[in-house]
Amino acid sequence: MSELEPGSNPWLAQVEEEILDPDRAIIDPHHHLWKKRFNRDYLLPELWTDTDSGHNIVKTVFIECRAFYRREGEQHLKSVGETETIAALASQSRANNSNKAYIAGIISHSDLTLAGESEEKLLEALEQHRAASNGLLRGIRHSAARDKRPEDLFIVGSAPPYLHGKEAFRKGLRIIAEQGLTYDTWHYHHQNLDFLDLARAVPNCTMVLDHFGTPLGVGIYKNSRDEIFQKWKAQIREISKCPNVYAKLGGLAMPDNGFDWHLQSRPPSSDEFIKEQERYYMHAIECFGPERCMFESNFPVDRLSINYHVLFNAYKKMVADFSEDEKHAMFYATAEKVYSLKD
């Protein structure tokens, strides 16, 4: 273990690279903001430290992370506190007169299973999220991640069993689809087929697959990476046949993916990152096509393992031989389309 704390600025600063293709406009469609997690804050100053590190990050999308919830009031409305806080930070990001990235969209959390017991409660929650967002609400993430050995995981998904298969959940999806909202999913690789059934069952809902379906590489999965990868490849190919599903490319540098960069004396270079992970990216792009893919940072979670500018250098290297239109789709246009981010 390094004496420097993984994810800290001194630890990350050990690897610096020249910025590739620095003028390319980028939307980062997946990051979080919070206080006092992983022993540090990640708010606008910290976000800008990363987005200002050399690449041309124009806009971002905040993804819910169960932060800033209301401490009082009705349970189904507590998550509106997160939307309120992020909307205020988004206003600050836009008010800044420099060329810094600004938060252009918010993906909030609501319990979609409310549709089964009280459709009115879900509609009330969605209405309040929309009002609190100052026009930035773009979708809902209600994570389905659940594993039989949560004690092995760094970030534990706590969803009820078979969430994607519950009719109340699917009814909630139909409601957000009717309102023009997207659905982001976070689940683990062994839940990919549950998600496939969901995508087929609610074809009118635009869905975004976060983090490649999170192939796990710790605990009971630690020595099964190649076996898991082969099953994952087939599952991703089937999921990609659902035209309502888009893929976020990223989020594989979490500790639970098992690459263990957060345990090393220094973070990886872009070439080291590519050596370990390129096969996931290339397969997803092959299956979905660039027009349904978007590169994501998943910061500050993946910041525990890699520097922001190094990560985007890796992305640019992996698709260096793609056409200009294809690159623009993956770095900008797909996110702009899916999340309706045009000014």
* Domain-wise residue ranges, the chain: 9-16+25-338
Return the pLDDT at 98.
74
Return the pLDDT at 343.
82
Encode the chain (343 residues) as per-residue pLDDT tens digits. Answer: 447 899 999 999 999 999 999 999 999 999 999 999 998 999 999 999 999 999 999 999 999 999 999 999 999 999 999 999 999 999 999 996 678 999 999 999 999 999 998 999 999 999 999 999 999 999 999 999 999 999 999 999 999 999 999 999 999 999 999 999 999 999 999 999 999 999 999 999 999 999 999 999 999 999 999 999 999 999 999 999 999 999 999 999 999 999 999 999 999 999 999 999 999 999 999 999 999 999 999 999 999 999 999 999 999 999 999 999 999 999 999 999 999 999 8
For residue 154, the 8-state DSSP code is S
Write the CATH number of the domain with boundaries 9-16+25-338: 3.20.20.140
Closest CA to 141 of 51, 79, 49: 79
Residue tagged 């994810």 (tokens): 7
For residue 330, the 8-state DSSP code is I
Return the pLDDT at 1.
43
- 60-95 b/e with 16+ CB inside 10 Å = b? bbbbbbebbeeeeeeebbbbbbbbbbbbebbeebee
